[in-house]
Structure 1
Amino acid sequence: MRTAYKCRAYPTSEQAAALNRTFGCVRFVWNRTLAWRRARYHAERVKTNFAQANAHLTAMKTADETAW
C-alpha cells in the first residue's frame, strides 16, 4: 500500500530567493545538457546515454566558467 503525504512550505523571503537561485541553476544546466544532446543527435545520429551525459556534465563543470 502506498502512502502519500502532502506538505506545504512557506519560506521566508531569503529562503525563497535561495530556492529561486537554485532552481534557476538547475534549469540552466538541464537546458544546456538537453541542447548538447539534441545537437549531438542531429549531427551524428547517435543517442546519448546517461554515462555520456554525466561525463559531459563533469567536463562542463571543469571548463572555464567564462565560456558559459
Structure 2
Amino acid sequence: MTGLSEDLRLPVPCPSCGSHLMRVSRVKNPDDKVHCASCGKMICLWHEAQTVLRQGPGSQSEALIESAVNRNR
C-alpha cells in the first residue's frame, strides 16, 4: 500500500505497538481501512479516524506533533 497510501498521525496510539503513525489510502473513502504504519494492524475505518481527528489531541504537545506530521493532509 506504499505508493497508493499516505501517513498521518492520530492522537490515539496503536493498541499493539503504541505508534501514532497510521497509513490510509490516498482515495480516503469512508470505509477505507486505517492501518498502523509500524506493525500493520488494522486500527479503524477512515470515517472513524476523521472523527478522532476532529475531536483533536489531548494536550498542546500532542497538537504540535500532529500539526507537524499532518501538515499536508
TM-score by length of 2: 0.24
Whichever of the two has the greater Rg, that structure is 1
TM-score by length of 1: 0.25
Greater percentage in strand: 2
Greater percentage in helix: 1
